[in-house]
Amino acid sequence: MTKRFLATTATLAFATALMAGPAAAQNVVTMNTVQIFGTIDPAKISDYTDYMAAVNLYDSLVTVDSSGNLIPQIAESWVVSPDATEVTFKLRADATFTDGTPILASDVVYSFERLLRINQGPANLFAGVVEPGAVTAVDDTTVSFKLSKTFAPFMATVPALMIVNADLVESNKGADDGQTWLADNVAGSGAYLLDSWDRGSQMVIKRYADYYGEFLENPIDEVRWIITNDEATVKALAASGELTMSSPFQSPDTHKALVDMGRFRMESQPTTTAFYLKLNSKSAPTDDIHIRRAIAYATDYATIREVIFPGEPMTTVLPAGFADFWNADVPAPTFDMAKAAEEVALSSYAGQQIPITLSYVAGTLFEEEISLLMQANLESLGFVVTQQPEPWNRVTEIAADVATTPNVNQIFFGPTYPSPDSMFFTQFHSAAAGTWASMEWLQDPAIDALIDQARATGDVAEQARLYKEVQALMAENGVAVPLLAQTVQHTWTSACRASVPCRCSPSTMTWCVTAGPALDPLTEARARQGPALQCARASGATQPIW
């Protein structure tokens, strides 16, 4: 086994070396992912690796460009009815699946119905918004979505609906709606074809030359994903020349080590993924607002951002990347131990030892570092700290009950669709209580009402006003301490960088490898639909941020 692995590694390294030569016309990118590809069935995809594969193998009606704008993909245009309850897409006449057959409106209907039937992956984005039967084929190239209510972020969720080849899936349907077949096979129209997939170790996709869409100049011909989350292995792969690109989720030390090798350069991308301390507002001592404020003052934001985990300052519960909705008037939280001591003195727990639990994801080194930093500061204020490292799957369990939710929780949350609604509704609305994204147990009717109003209106200015008010209220109640907006660091070889044109955007939450039109949206897909869904399902072995 080991021998074979070594042999494979050697062969790969050799092959990569050959391809990197000037004679090689092939543009091969080898990168590592920190977790396995769970599934490539577009009705079941949920986490970052799933999406990364699926967006390259399947196309959607629309996709997102690197600035976060919706752009046509299978659909060439779309019309939204005046009351915003019906969207009609016009499909490209030349769009074809990778087996050469044209993409018809009936394929869209089939894909949507199948998604709802299986009811996994992105299905929850449409739950209660588009009912079964509400998507209809008007003619071969026109498809209509009827919404059961006004839902402002609807268009943003459309890229999550990837279109499958209805005839192909039907002929391999089996007893489970093609789930078994689509778990290993592709019935899509993406710019890349699945070349090989060894579930535990790697996946290779190759460019589909007859893709109906356009490739950028000098596109990537082949992408090899090597699955490992071990920092030492990533460094070893990089040193051996096998790796052209690291996953964005390596530790800052690993990125630095790669850069020090000389062949790699690092790029940082700000994202709209927020990192919070979520304070359980219903259990002692964090039920006291002064204790919550003391914790916010006792947080050393600069050290966390600059030394422990790279990020941009975050002043409100909404990352500043949501420029139109971000409330600039909310003062930034500050690190001030004197003020923290004053707040403790004002609290009902003043003058006693205050037991408090700090929870973080077990095995996540930087979270442990932050937790130790918090412990050092809090203990000097008279808190008695219990560290509670929990595997990620346990976090999702203990978040379900207010009694088992620890006092302080380190949680990453990124928008699952490009709307501030994703940040507010999923985290701070009472409907979200009992999920890992909502460990504050806020349950504040005033905030619920504001979020509901923002969801129901199509007026962006009004939405911005409402969301800014929510941010002010959240700063007031202090249940979520905004630590930072994640900066994604990503390292790649200079050679690769030079040959691969890249479009990046500040609003996307991760790196972008762009070459073909399909590799580009993987960034977007991750920013839009991937991370939070994935967070909910990520195993304990991987980190919730991805």
Partner 1 sequence: MSELAALSNSYQNWYRFSRNPTAVIGLLIVVLSLLAALLAPYITPFPDHVGAIVDFRNRHQPPSLEHWFGTDNVGRDILTRVIFGLRVSLMLAFVVLVIAVPFGTAMGLLAGYFGGWTEIVIMRLTDIALALPPLIMALAVAAVLEPSLMNAMLAIASLWWTWHTRLVYSMVRQIRALEYVEAAETLGASKTHILFREILPNCVSAIAVKTSLDAGFVILIGASLSFLGLGIQPPTPDLGTMVSDGASFLPDYWWESLLPGTAILFVALGFNLLGDGLRDLFDVEDVR
Chosen residue from 93, 376, 449, 495 binding partner 1 by CB under 8 A: 376
Q: Are 441 and 402 in contact (CB under 8 A)?
A: yes
Place of tokens 């690796």: 49
Q: Which long-range contacts (CB under 8 A, 24 or more apart) does 504-508 make?
A: 504/66, 504/267, 504/269, 505/65, 505/66, 505/67, 505/68, 506/269, 506/270, 506/321, 507/67, 507/68, 507/272, 507/321, 507/418, 508/66, 508/68, 508/269, 508/271
Site for partner 1 in 232-261 (CB under 8 A): 232, 235, 251, 253-254, 257
Q: Kindly give the pairing relationship between strand 28-33 and strand 480-493.
A: unpaired
CB of 392 to partner 1, least distance (A): 12
Please say which residue, 387 or 430, places its beta carbon nearer to partner 1.
Answer: 387
**Binding segment for partner 1 among 22-30, 229-237, 312-320, 462-470 (CB under 8 A)?**
229-237
Q: Is residue 6 a contact point for partner 1 (CB under 8 A)? A: no
Two tokens, residue 357: 């639990």
Per-residue interface string for the shown chain with partner 1, residues 393-422, x marking contact by CB under 8 A: -x----------------------------
CB of 540 to partner 1, least distance (A): 9
Please say which residue, 241 or 363, places its beta carbon nearer to partner 1.
Answer: 363
**Binding segment for partner 1 among 64-72, 278-286, 380-388, 457-465 (CB under 8 A)?**
380-388
Please say which residue, 362 or 402, places its beta carbon nearer to partner 1.
Answer: 362
CB of 249 to partner 1, least distance (A): 12
Please say which residue, 79 or 307, places its beta carbon nearer to partner 1.
Answer: 307
Please say which residue, 372 or 536, places its beta carbon nearer to partner 1.
Answer: 372
Site for partner 1 in 282-341 (CB under 8 A): 303, 307-308
Please say which residue, 72 or 363, places its beta carbon nearer to partner 1.
Answer: 363
CB of 525 to partner 1, least distance (A): 28
Distances (CA, A) of 142 to 77, 105, 115: 10, 6, 20
CB of 194 to partner 1, least distance (A): 31
Q: What is the DSSP string of 344-377?
A: HHHSTTTTS-EEEEEEEETT-HHHHHHHHHHHHH
Residues 6+ apart with CB under 8 A from 264: 238, 246, 258, 491, 492, 493, 494
**Binding segment for partner 1 among 5-13, 189-197, 389-397, 531-539 (CB under 8 A)?**
389-397
* SS3 sequence of 487-545: EEEEEEEHHHHHHCCCCCCCCCCCCCCCCCCCHHHHHHHHHHCHHHHHHHHCCCCCCCC
- Element containing residue 338 per DSSP (H, E): helix 337-346
Identity of the amino acid at 312: E
CB of 501 to partner 1, least distance (A): 32
Q: Kindly give the pairing relationship between strand 86-91 and strand 408-413.
A: unpaired
CB of 302 to partner 1, least distance (A): 10
| Torsion angle defined by CA atoms of residues 37, 38, 40 and 43, in that order, rounded to the nearest 10 degrees | -150
Identity of the amino acid at 384: V
Distance CA 461, CA 257 (A): 46
CB of 72 to partner 1, least distance (A): 43
The residue count for binding partner 1 (CB under 8 A) is: 29
Chosen residue from 9, 387, 430, 453 binding partner 1 by CB under 8 A: 387
Site for partner 1 in 333-372 (CB under 8 A): 362-363, 365, 368-369, 371-372
10: phi then psi, degrees, rounded to nearest 5:
-65, -45
Identity of the amino acid at 503: R
CB of 391 to partner 1, least distance (A): 7
Q: Which DSSP letter does residue 305 get?
A: I
Please say which residue, 41 or 390, places its beta carbon nearer to partner 1.
Answer: 390
What's the start-to-end Cα distance of the chain, in Å?
Answer: 30
Please say which residue, 379 or 469, places its beta carbon nearer to partner 1.
Answer: 379
Distance CA 14, CA 220 (A): 19
Q: Is residue 375 a contact point for partner 1 (CB under 8 A)? A: yes
CB of 334 to partner 1, least distance (A): 18
Binding residues vs partner 1 (CB under 8 A): 230-232, 235, 251, 253-254, 257, 303, 307-308, 362-363, 365, 368-369, 371-373, 375-376, 379, 385-389, 391, 394
